[in-house]
C-alpha cells in the first residue's frame, strides 16, 4: 500500500468500482438491440458473444495454432479504494477475471486510463499503473502500452486478450438441473468499499480479496469438468446468478446460510453503507426471485455490487463452499432458502 499527499481518490468519483456500472436492465435493453444486428466476420466463428451476456467474447479462428480460440474483454472503473497502487491491482484483477470466467488464459493486456491531470498529481497515475502491472505480471500476462485521456473523473482498467480451448469453455448457458453451485470468493466488498468511501476506514481483507486472481478457481473448475460458470461483479451474486439461470433455462436454488461473507459486511449493510448500484441490482432481480424468509439485509448482501469477485461455478470446487443447486425451471429463476 502507498500513501501520497493524503489524496482520497474515492472522493473524485461519483460511483465506485463495479457499483458504477450502468444498471443491468438499461444495459440489456440497449445491447439486446445490437445482438440482432451483429453478424460474424467471414473468417471467424464467434463462440461466445452478445446473446447471453457472458463474461468475454470468444472467437475461433480457422487455422489457428493448436486449435485455440481468442478471448477478448475490457473492464475499467472509477476508484474503489483511496490507495492508487491497490486500485491498480484491483482493477487489473477484475479485468483479467473475465478471461478466467470463460475458462481462458490471459496473454496480453493494454491499459485504459482516464485522469483529471489538472486536479490530481500524475505520480498517482503512475502508482495505479504500477499496481496493474504487478497483478498482470503475477498472472503471466504481458502489458503492452494502452490508451489515456484527460477526464474529470479518474478511471482505470485493462483490455485483455487471452486464449482458451474451444472444447473446454466455461459458459453461462450450460447449467443443467442437478448441478451444485459453488462460490469461490466471499461477498461483501461492495458495502465495505462504500463504507471506506464514506469514512476513510481501510479494510485490508477486502482489498486482498479483490486483488486476488481467479486463476486458481478457473483451473479448479476446468479440472473438475465444469462447463458452466460466470464471475460475480457489478450485478451482484443474484444478478449474475439470474443471468446464468435464464441463459441455461433452469431455476437456481440458493442456500443463503451457506453463502460466505467478508468480516464486517453484514454490520456495514445494517448500518446503511449500501450503494445505489446494489439497490438497482435488487430491484432488477426481485420480480424473478422468491426470497422466502430472507430479511432485507440478506437480500441486499446477495445483490451487493462486487468488484473483482469470485467465480460462480455450476460444479463443486475443492475448498470452496457449495451455496445451492440448479433444478428444473420453475415459477422463479431464483429461489432463496
Would you please indicate which residues are annotated as catalytic (active-site) residues? 18
DSSP label at residue 9: G
Whether the CB-CB separation of 204 and 224 falls below 8 Å is answered with: no
In terms of Cβ atoms closer than 10 Å to its own Cβ (0-12, 13-18, 19+), residue 81 is buried
CB within 8 Å of 233: residues ≥ 6 apart: 18, 21, 94, 97, 240, 305, 306, 307, 308, 309
Sign of CA dihedral 299, 303, 307, 312: positive
Q: How far apart are CA 167 and CA 225, in angstroms?
A: 11
Other CB atoms within a 10 A radius of the CB of residue 51 amount to: 12
322 closest CA partner among 226, 242, 235: 226
Parallel, antiparallel or unpaired: strands 334-336 and 289-290: parallel
Amino acid at each position: 500500500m502507498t500513501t501520497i499527499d493524503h489524496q482520497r481518490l474515492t472522493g473524485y468519483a461519483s460511483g465506485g468500482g463495479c457499483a458504477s456500472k450502468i444498471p443491468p436492465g438499461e444495459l440489456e435493453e440497449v445491447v439486446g438491440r445490437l445482438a440482432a444486428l451483429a453478424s460474424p466476420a467471414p473468417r471467424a466463428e464467434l463462440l461466445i458473444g452478445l446473446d447471453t451476456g457472458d463474461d468475454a467474447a470468444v472467437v475461433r479462428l480457422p487455422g489457428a495454432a493448436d486449435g485455440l480460440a481468442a478471448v477478448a474483454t475490457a473492464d475499467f472503473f472509477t476508484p474503489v479504494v483511496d490507495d492508487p497502487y491497490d486500485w491498480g491491482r484491483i482493477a487489473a484483477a477484475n479485468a483479467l477475471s473475465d478471461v478466467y470466467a470463460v475458462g481462458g488464459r490471459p496473454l496480453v493486456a493494454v491499459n485504459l486510463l482516464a485522469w483529471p491531470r489538472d486536479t490530481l498529481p500524475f505520480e498517482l497515475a503512475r502508482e495505479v499503473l504500477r499496481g496493474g502491472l504487478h497483478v498482470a505480471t503475477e498472472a503471466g500476462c504481458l502489458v503492452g502500452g494502452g490508451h489515456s485521456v484527460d477526464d474529470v473523473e479518474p478511471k482505470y482498467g485493462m483490455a485483455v486478450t487471452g486464449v482458451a480451448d474451444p472444447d473446454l469453455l466455461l459458459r453461462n448457458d450450460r447449467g443443467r438441473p442437478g448441478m451444485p453451485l459453488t462460490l469461490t470468493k466471499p461477498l461483501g466488498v461492495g458495502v465495505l468499499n462504500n463504507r471506506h468511501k464514506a469514512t476513510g476506514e481501510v479494510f485490508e481483507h477486502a482489498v486482498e480479496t479483490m486483488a486476488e486472481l481467479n486463476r486458481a478457481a478457473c483451473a479448479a473448475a476446468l479440472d473438475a469438468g465444469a462447463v458452466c460458470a460466470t464471475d460475480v461483479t457489478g450485478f451482484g451474486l443474484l444478478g449474475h446468478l439470474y443471468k446464468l439461470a435464464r441463459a441455461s433455462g433452469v431455476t437456481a436454488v440458493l442456500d443463503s446460510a451457506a453463502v460466505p461473507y467478508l468480516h464486517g459486511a453484514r454490520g456495514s449493510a445494517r448500518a446503511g453503507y449500501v450503494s445505489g448500484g446494489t439497490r438497482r441490482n435488487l430491484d432488477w432481480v426481485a420480480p424473478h426471485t422468491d426470497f422466502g424468509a430472507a430479511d432485507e439485509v440478506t437480500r441486499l448482501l446477495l445483490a451487493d455490487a462486487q468488484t473483482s469477485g469470485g467465480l460462480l461455478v455450476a460444479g463443486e470446487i475443492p475448498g470452496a463452499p457449495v451455496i445451492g443447486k440448479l433444478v428444473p425451471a420453475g415459477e422463479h429463476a431464483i429461489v432463496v432458502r
